[in-house]
Amino acid sequence: MSSKEEKPKKQKIVFKPAITKEQLRLAVEKLVHGDGMTYTESIIEICEQMEIDPEDMAKIVKGPLKSKLEVEAMDRNIIKRTTSTLF
C-alpha cells in the first residue's frame, strides 16, 4: 500500500438559475402593464409562482428594473429621495 491515498476528485456543481434577468424583466413588465400591478407586487408574485426566495431574486434585479423599483419606492415614501424635485 502506498502512503498516499488518492482523494476523489471534487465535481463542480453548476446551478442553472430558475429565471434570468431578461425573463424577470419581461415577466414584471407584463404584470405591471397588463394586470396593473406595481413593480414590487409583480416581483413578489413571480417569487411566489416560481417558489424563489425574494432575497435570492434581489440578486438579479439590476439595471432599468432596479431603477423603476427605486422610483416606485420613493413615490411611496418607502425610501428617501436621492434627488430634489422641481415642484
CA separation, residue 77 to residues 11, 13, 60, 74, 82 (Å): 48, 42, 24, 5, 12
Domain residue limits, the chain: 21-75
pLDDT in tens, 12-32: 776 666 889 999 999 999 999
- What burial class does residue 28 get, using C-beta atoms within 10 Å of its C-beta: 0-12 exposed, 13-18 middle, 19+ buried? buried
CA separation, residue 75 to residues 34, 45, 47, 85, 86 (Å): 21, 21, 23, 12, 15
pLDDT in tens, 23-70: 999 999 999 999 999 999 999 999 999 999 999 999 999 999 999 999
Residue 79 C-alpha cell reads as 425610501
